[in-house]
Amino acid sequence: MHSSQNSGPPTPEIIGSSPAMQDVYRLTRKVAPSNASVLLLGESGTGKELIATAIHRLSHRGNGPFVKVNCGALNESLLESELFGHVRGSFTGAVANRTGRFEAAHTGTIFLDEINSTSSHLQVKLLRVLQEREFERVGDTQTNRVDTRVIAASNRNLLDEVNAERFREDLYWRLNVVPIVIPPLRERREDIPQLVTHFLRIYNEENDRYVVHIEAAAMEALHDYHWPGNVRELQNYVERAVVMAETDELTVELIPDVVASTESGSGDTDLQGADIESLIRQVVQKGIAEASETDALHEIIVNRVERELILQVMEQTSNIQTKAAAIMGINRNTLHKKLKEFGIDGP
């Protein structure tokens, strides 16, 4: 049997003891001592950077540099310069030589977040670094060699990106030596009380507050919410509650309406696929019966189905747009536009 100390989080910053996270911890500990590339997969806000940090700390490179790059935050030319460096005069504004992040991470680890955002040109250079451990700075002919471990992360399914020809297959297999999938918060709800306590401790200290009790109704609402923004969203709401609290208790009034109005999680499940299909059949039949032959029948039916569907889902979710959008698989901005387009008012 393994000792119990190996069943908990690999570093103190990672919170949670759910079975879903136990699998993540086991893989993290197993892959850390190797030099293998790791691909972290999971929705935004699930804590991929924390796992990347843990892998680095537990590796033989733990005393070396840990360099983080968000590939989605920069355009192609800036990202290329950021990753590989440049020489003076290589482009407008390059007034001095610059060391890139790969060189800065020599003997350590580089964490490439949102790797799915990289262009095909950069993907070629990344593949070369992974295969040959060498690259040139932008505008330079001299080849640099580097000993850097690569951990990449994506909030999209990279295999889907490969199939859509937006991501190189050879780079995918180079990065995906050991994949670790970080579960969304809604699949590890049993960790929510522990996470809330952890964030209360942090934000009490930061704000010189003493919010140490959690109202049962508040905890129930937090547990039942579907958490599209995952742990990052929970962290945001706890910080807000600490700042706004007037007593030592986190009450349901301190939680945003989008969370507090969730009724036992039923908003996520009331309208399931079978109900939607039945609704669509009814509306299509009604549309066909009412549309004249000269009308653009197809468009009328599609619009009618969409409008009726949105009305039904909005009703099921008590007009909470975030929940309604999640059920329909669209983002909240799209739903907002549709509501305006169809003349559907709020509550």
4-183 has which fold? Rossmann fold (3.40.50)
According to CATH, what is the number of the domain 267-341? Answer: 1.10.10.60
Q: Using the structure block, give the residue that is written with the tokens 């001299």.
A: 142
Domain-by-domain residue ranges, the chain?
4-183, 186-262, 267-341
For 51-65, 131-145, 203-217, which range has the lowest pLDDT when averaged over its residues? 131-145
For 3-17, 112-126, 255-269, which range has the lowest pLDDT when averaged over its residues? 255-269
Residue 116 Cα to chain centre, angstroms: 12
Determine contact, residues 130/174, Cβ cutoff 8 Å.
yes
Residue 66 zone, left/alpha/beta (φ > 0; ψ -120 to 50; rest): beta
Q: Which residues pair with 250 in a beta bridge?
A: 214
- pLDDT value for 1: 39
Give the integer Cα–Cα distance in Å for 241 and 149: 40
Write the pLDDT tens digit of every residue in 132-146. 888 777 766 777 888
Helix axes 332-341, 321-328, angle to 10 degrees: 100
Enter the pTM of the model: 0.71
Reply yes or no on whether the pLDDT at 272 is more than 90.
no
Residue 147 zone, left/alpha/beta (φ > 0; ψ -120 to 50; rest): beta
Mean pLDDT of 242-250: 92
Reply yes or no on whether the pLDDT at 246 is more than 80.
yes
According to CATH, what is the number of the domain 186-262? Answer: 1.10.8.60
- Tally the C-alpha atoms within 13 A of residue 63's C-alpha that lie toward its C-beta: 1
Determine contact, residues 308/279, Cβ cutoff 8 Å.
yes
Reply yes or no on whether the pLDDT at 267 is more than 90.
no
Write the pLDDT tens digit of every residue in 279-321. 555 555 555 555 555 456 666 667 777 788 888 888 877 777 7
